């Protein structure tokens, strides 16, 4: 699969002005979490019930990045973000892709996943993710026919060092964008899951890889 070749709709979005998001909606942390107290509700978040893969397998791991049209901040607040995350999890299960890292934001996302025997299903996964989330988002916002997604890029990771650096990059992406100071408190990335589910030795290994020189579509 060639990076940058899988482009979605080219038309302009239907007029629909989103409301401005509050600070806690942008960061993915509730007011209670930001102040160190308990969150205002105790709804259990949907979790990815798998452990991180410790062994690098060349040509089986892919990094995917996608952007909303015109980089608009369309996924605003926990309800929108939880919907996007839930569809990513369920479709990854459906198509047999094993997520290794993810970071979801109001106008873009990144994920790294291990391919099933049929890696060609990545295109179907992303298309269904964009179709389902666009329809549901427009229903939630009352914006029928609005274009949500613009384009996505996928890259097959062939070098072990590149893989570990990108794992670290994706999990620290909320810090990179200035949303939080510690990635694990951002609810819509995999940093907290990784710290909980991976062996400490593997966590330390991934953290040791520098990611400031990683070349990723990330001007959002």
d(CA 153, CA 22): 29
Share of the chain above pLDDT 70, in %: 74
pTM, 2 dp: 0.78
Please give the average per-residue pLDDT across 132-144, as a whole number.
Answer: 97
Residues 128-141, mean pLDDT to the nearest whole number: 98
* CATH superfamily label, 59-207: Transposase IS200-like (3.30.70.1290)
Q: Rounded distance, CA 51 to CA 164, Å?
A: 16
**pLDDT of residue 3 exceeding 50:** no
pLDDT in tens, 188-213: 999 999 999 999 999 999 999 988 87
Which pLDDT score is estimated for 54? 56
Highest mean pLDDT among 7-16, 42-51, 181-190, 211-220: 181-190
Instruction: Show me where the domains of the chain are located.
Output: 59-207
Whether residue 180 is predicted with pLDDT greater than 70 in this model: the reply is yes
User: What confidence score (pLDDT) does residue 50 get?
Assistant: 59
Confidence label for 89 from pLDDT (cuts 50, 70 and 90): very high
């Amino acid at each position: 699969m060639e990076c940058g070749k899988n482009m979605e709709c080219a038309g302009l979005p239907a007029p629909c002005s989103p409301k401005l998001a509050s600070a806690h909606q942008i960061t993915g942390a509730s007011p209670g979490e930001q102040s160190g107290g308990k969150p205002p509700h105790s709804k259990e978040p949907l979790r990815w019930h798998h452990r991180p893969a410790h062994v690098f397998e060349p040509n089986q791991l892919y990094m995917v990045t996608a952007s909303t049209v015109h980089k608009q901040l369309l996924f605003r607040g926990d309800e929108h973000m939880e919907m996007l995350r839930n569809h990513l999890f369920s479709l990854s299960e459906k198509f047999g892709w094993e997520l290794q890292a993810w970071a979801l934001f109001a106008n873009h996302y990144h994920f790294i996943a291990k391919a099933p025997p049929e890696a060609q299903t990545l295109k179907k996964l992303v298309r269904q993710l964009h179709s389902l989330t666009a329809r549901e988002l427009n229903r939630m916002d009352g914006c029928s026919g609005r274009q949500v997604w613009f384009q996505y890029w996928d890259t097959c990771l062939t070098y072990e060092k590149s893989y570990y650096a990108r794992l670290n990059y994706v999990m620290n992406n909320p810090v990179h964008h200035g949303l939080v100071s510690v990635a694990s408190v951002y609810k819509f990335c995999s940093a907290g899951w990784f710290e909980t589910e991976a062996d400490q030795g593997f966590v330390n290994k991934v953290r040791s890889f520098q990611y400031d020189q990683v070349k990723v579509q990330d001007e959002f």
